[in-house]
């Protein structure tokens, strides 16, 4: 199968799995797992923050950040397309009593003016504008990379209004390898930020949430409270360290492959629109007279190609180490066959 469904399906390589065997281990809850501590220190430095906490998933990073930063009745300003709003089971409300205030940016990216108009005045009646969320890159925005000036501008507006800032950096490293702008620079004005290891970086699971030492103290308490504290977590942290050492180059290949797929999809008549391809995600819409997206997914399966349907006419292809140029060729060819070219 040529699997473009998601980079979350990236499989650990043998060398990555081998790294587990050599990892020194200890009890993470007691702060005694050296491999986890090493990973946290490395990611804190990478993201330009004082400290970091290893989590089992990116979802846990987002939810814990919301719990630490906000009180019940507070509001998070975010894009309508973000993961926090669409794919986390309503947990900001369920776990933290927090409301989300969605903005309708372009491909997941909104402006400082959008933030300004979403800010609530001090009022006895309204939720309290408390946190700004930026998703770099924007998943449902087609992997769009937030330009640095826009990130700086929205963060500045939020900070000036007394909000805390949080970055969902699930694919931040895809942006870093594309633009050459460091992760720490992107995250400079953010109180908390995390990166995911289970996507393009290819580890089986794990994400690291970074911020001030005080923020991380609180995040640790929440991790413990939610049952996310581990024991010999070095077996999970070792593949993440391996990914930092060996898989950043892979993200460059992923971004390049996605760009070339996006270009070729533009030429298929049954495809109406391809969102700009900034990183490793290609989102495209098919024309009214094409089969619906779900049917295209089924037809592609017969051609040994896996893709995701996102709405009636919208499809998404994601590149990662599971696929290469030959897979890209197969995908474009199969889509051309199904959609009339």
Ligand X SMILES: Cc1ncc(COP(=O)(O)O)c(C=O)c1O
Positions in the binding site for ligand X (CB under 6 A):
8, 57-59, 83, 135, 139, 168, 170, 196, 198, 207
- Tell me whether residue 58 or residue 239 sits nearer to ligand X (CB atom): 58
CB of 199 to ligand X, least distance (A): 7
Structure-block tokens of residue 96: 């933290």
CB of 56 to ligand X, least distance (A): 8
- Tell me whether residue 175 or residue 293 sits nearer to ligand X (CB atom): 175
- Tell me whether residue 3 or residue 196 sits nearer to ligand X (CB atom): 196
CA 16 to chain centre: 21
Burial (Cβ within 10 Å: 0-12, 13-18, ≥19) of residue 7:
buried
Sign, Cα dihedral of 270, 274, 314, 255:
positive
Structure-block tokens of residue 180: 């050459």
Q: Which DSSP helix (H) or strand (E) runs through 257? A: helix 248-265
CB of 39 to ligand X, least distance (A): 15
Closest-CA residue to 34 (of 167, 166, 232, 289):
232
CB of 320 to ligand X, least distance (A): 12
Give the CB-nearest residue to ligand X: 58
CB of 57 to ligand X, least distance (A): 3
- Tell me whether residue 58 or residue 234 sits nearer to ligand X (CB atom): 58
What letter does residue 30 receive in the DSSP assignment?
G
CA 234 to chain centre: 23
Which residues lie below 8 Å from residue 81, measured CB to CB, with a gap of 6+?
A: 105, 108, 135, 138, 139, 140, 141
CB of 8 to ligand X, least distance (A): 5
- Tell me whether residue 8 or residue 13 sits nearer to ligand X (CB atom): 8
What letter does residue 81 receive in the DSSP assignment?
T
Radius of gyration of the chain (CA): 20
- Tell me whether residue 8 or residue 287 sits nearer to ligand X (CB atom): 8
Closest-CA residue to 66 (of 46, 44, 86, 90):
90
CB of 207 to ligand X, least distance (A): 5
Judge whether 235 and 297 are in contact, CB under 8 Å: no
CB of 146 to ligand X, least distance (A): 12
d(CA 248, CA 240): 11
């Amino acid at each position: 199968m040529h699997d473009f469904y998601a980079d979350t399906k990236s499989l650990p390589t043998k060398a990555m799995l081998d790294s587990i065997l050599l990892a020194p281990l200890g009890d993470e809850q007691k702060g005694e797992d050296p491999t986890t501590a090493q990973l946290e220190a490395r990611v804190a430095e990478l993201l330009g923050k004082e400290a970091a906490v290893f989590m089992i998933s990116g979802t846990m990073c987002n939810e814990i950040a919301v719990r630490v930063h906000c009180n019940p009745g507070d509001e998070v300003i975010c894009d309508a397309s973000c993961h926090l709003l669409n794919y986390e089971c309503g947990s900001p409300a369920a776990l933290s009593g927090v409301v989300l205030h969605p903005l309708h940016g372009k491909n997941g990216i909104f402006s400082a003016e959008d933030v300004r108009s979403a800010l609530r005045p001090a009022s006895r009646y309204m939720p309290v504008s408390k946190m700004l969320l930026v998703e770099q890159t924007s998943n449902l925005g087609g992997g769009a990379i937030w330009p640095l000036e826009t990130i700086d501008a929205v963060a500045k507006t939020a900070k000036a209004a007394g909000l805390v800032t949080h970055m969902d950096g699930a694919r931040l490293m895809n942006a870093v390898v594309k633009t050459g702008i460091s992760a720490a620079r992107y995250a400079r004005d953010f109180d908390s930020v995390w990166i995911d290891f289970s996507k393009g970086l290819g580890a089986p699971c794990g994400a690291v949430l970074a911020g001030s030492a005080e923020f991380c103290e609180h995040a640790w308490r929440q991790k413990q409270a939610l049952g996310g504290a581990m024991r010999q977590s070095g077996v999970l942290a070792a593949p993440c360290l391996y990914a930092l050492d060996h898989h950043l180059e892979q993200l460059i290949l992923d971004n390049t492959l996605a760009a070339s797929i996006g270009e070729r999809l533009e030429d298929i008549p049954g495809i109406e629109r391809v969102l700009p391809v900034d990183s490793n995600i290609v989102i495209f819409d098919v024309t009214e007279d094409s089969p619906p997206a779900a049917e295209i997914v089924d037809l592609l399966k017969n051609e040994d190609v896996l893709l995701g349907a996102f709405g009636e006419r919208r499809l998404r292809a994601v590149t990662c180490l599971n696929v290469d140029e030959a897979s890209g060729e197969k995908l474009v060819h199969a889509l051309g066959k199904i959609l009339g070219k």
